[in-house]
């Protein structure tokens, strides 16, 4: 049976065009797919055809040639006019737009048993709708899987389907802090991966680990409250150093909206060959930032939870893991989320408050920077230690 999930924000979405505060035609590299480029090449001769073909740039990513529309000096797409409208669509209609322009912010994913109709949170309107959605289920379902954790179904993707249901149920426990849910999901993911590597992952093991998740969540929360589960400052510093570097580009962009202060720059920490003390010092600064701004996050917990739910789906966790590796999909989701939280904390310190508009804005910038820059994927290739999530899972406990 095929299950179809549709992000409710997509059903509510209407492009607001020139009224969008961060128009997707501005400061964004718009790629031209081969089919669209072929259509342009077969247009009747004229100035518009010449302009379309002339105002493109060629780049290479991982050995693949990429054609993109020229970006003006002000960062806008070459074809965006002074009224904030698209010249291609005005002159030739939507059929002549690159596929990415026609589809964005809609995103479609599928596996053998699951179809996902989601949306990119790099779109300000999608991000706004997601974080303001108060429904427990932010995806509507057709032919939904049974929400039971007592058994695993049959079929090639039965395990992924089971874990998908488990993740959704865990994320719907709104009385549990996000940090605890993130830690628990990561812990289980790591345990399942260890069983799989030893060829010991069977239905009984998975069900036993997952079915009583409420009890496990409660145990983790109690351990945190009793300080029996604490953060290792060196490992946490290592983790936040990665997030800090990943977020540097987004930090610069957000500084145009807020008076942000870099909490680490005064430490004079070397970029290479950091010592254990360097990591401890970095973590001291970041943990203080997170602790000082924690009260401002109180009213955003639901919005952050909705964001994380959508992130998991869009990253294929766990329904369609990257290369079949659950940890890889989990890591990508965590890095997005932790970067968003860190940058939002900087905004909170600057403003003294936070609202859903701030949350949506930070999400948009993080999603855009991560979408165009394969930093996480490259980091995972170069640094296998990232897959050893047991070493830095406790770092996520600061996100509450």
Residue 225 CA to residue 203 CA, distance in Å, equals 33
Give residue 75's pLDDT. 84
For residues 71 and 78, the answer to whether their CB atoms sit within 8 Å is yes
Give residue 319's pLDDT. 80
Give residue 348's pLDDT. 96
Residue 331 CA to residue 315 CA, distance in Å, equals 9
Give residue 382's pLDDT. 77
DSSP bridge partners of 108 = 117
Preceding omega of 105 cis (within 30 degrees of 0): yes
Q: Which residues of the chain have pLDDT under 50?
A: none
Mean pLDDT (the chain) is 86
What's this model's pTM, rounded to 2 decimal places?
0.88
Q: What 8-state DSSP symbol labels residue 139? A: E
Give residue 65's pLDDT. 81
What Å distances lie between residue 192 and 187, 200, 262, CA to CA?
Answer: 9, 9, 38
What Å distances lie between residue 171 and 220, 253, 280, 320, CA to CA?
Answer: 15, 31, 31, 18
Q: List the structure tokens of 284.
A: 């001291």
What Å distances lie between residue 288 and 281, 293, 294, 398, CA to CA?
Answer: 11, 8, 10, 10
Give residue 143's pLDDT. 55
């Amino acid at each position: 049976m095929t299950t179809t999930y549709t992000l409710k924000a997509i059903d509510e979405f209407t492009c607001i065009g020139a009224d969008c505060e961060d128009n997707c035609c501005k400061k964004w590299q718009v790629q031209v797919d081969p089919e669209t480029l072929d259509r342009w090449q077969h247009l009747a001769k004229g100035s518009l055809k010449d302009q379309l073909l002339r105002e493109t740039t060629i780049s290479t990513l991982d050995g693949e040639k990429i054609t993109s529309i020229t970006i003006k000096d002000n960062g806008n797409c070459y074809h965006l006019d002074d009224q904030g409208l698209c010249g291609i669509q005005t002159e030739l209609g939507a059929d002549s737009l690159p596929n990415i322009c026609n589809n964005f912010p809609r995103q479609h994913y599928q596996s053998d048993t699951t179809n996902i109709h989601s949306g990119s949170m790099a779109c300000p309107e999608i991000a706004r709708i997601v974080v303001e959605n108060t429904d427990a289920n932010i995806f509507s379902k057709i032919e939904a899987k049974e929400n039971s954790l007592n058994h695993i179904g049959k079929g090639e993707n039965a395990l992924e389907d089971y874990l998908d249901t488990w993740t959704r149920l865990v994320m719907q426990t709104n009385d549990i802090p996000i940090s605890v849910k993130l830690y628990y999901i990561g812990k289980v993911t790591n345990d399942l991966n260890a069983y799989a590597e030893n060829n010991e992952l069977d239905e009984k093991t998975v069900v036993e680990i997952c079915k009583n998740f409420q009890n496990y969540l409660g145990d983790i929360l109690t351990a945190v409250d009793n300080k029996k589960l604490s953060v290792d400052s060196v490992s946490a510093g290592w983790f936040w150093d990665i997030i800090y570097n990943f977020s540097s580009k987004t930090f610069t962009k957000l500084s145009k909206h807020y008076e942000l202060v870099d909490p680490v720059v005064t430490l004079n920490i070397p970029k290479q060959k950091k010592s254990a003390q360097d990591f401890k010092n970095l973590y001291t600064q970041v943990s203080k930032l997170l602790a000082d701004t924690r009260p401002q996050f109180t009213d955003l917990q639901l919005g952050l939870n909705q964001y994380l739910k959508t992130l998991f789906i869009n990253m294929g966790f766990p329904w369609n893991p990257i290369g079949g590796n659950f940890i890889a999909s989990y890591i990508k989701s965590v890095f997005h989320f932790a970067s968003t939280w860190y940058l939002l904390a900087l905004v909170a310190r600057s403003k003294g408050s936070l609202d859903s508009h701030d949350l949506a804005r930070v999400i948009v910038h993080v999603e855009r920077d991560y979408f165009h820059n394969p930093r996480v994927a490259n980091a995972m290739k170069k640094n296998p230690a990232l897959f050893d999530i047991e070493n830095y899972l406790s770092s996520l406990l600061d996100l509450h």
